[in-house]
Amino acid sequence: MARSLRARAEEATREIQGILGVSADTQPKEIADALERTITKALLEERHRCADVASKFVDDRDKGNLLSEEINRVNTALIANLSALR
């Protein structure tokens, strides 16, 4: 099963705390929140970049509309999943 974005952020938080040699009680929520925001922003930017690239190579209007609809569907699902993590 795929791990959630939050689980990945919390795992990275533990790694960062280990690298820095700080207690596991040292601001774990703040670190995980910052990591989650950064990952979310990167995912959304990458989604926009992919859509821009795809739109340059679509020469058929109908195919372009189908591609746009699929990108929007995936984006909606991504936002819903990220919102559920809150």
Question: pLDDT tens, 38-65?
Answer: 888 888 888 888 877 777 766 666 777 7
- Looking at every residue in the chain, the average pLDDT score rounds to 80
> pTM of the entire structure?
0.56
Residue 1 pLDDT greater than 60, yes or no: no
Beta-carbon count within 10 A of 11 CB: 13
Please give the share of the chain, as a percent, with pLDDT higher than 90: 0
Cα–chain-centroid distance for residue 85?
Answer: 11
Mean pLDDT for the stretch of residues 21-37: 86
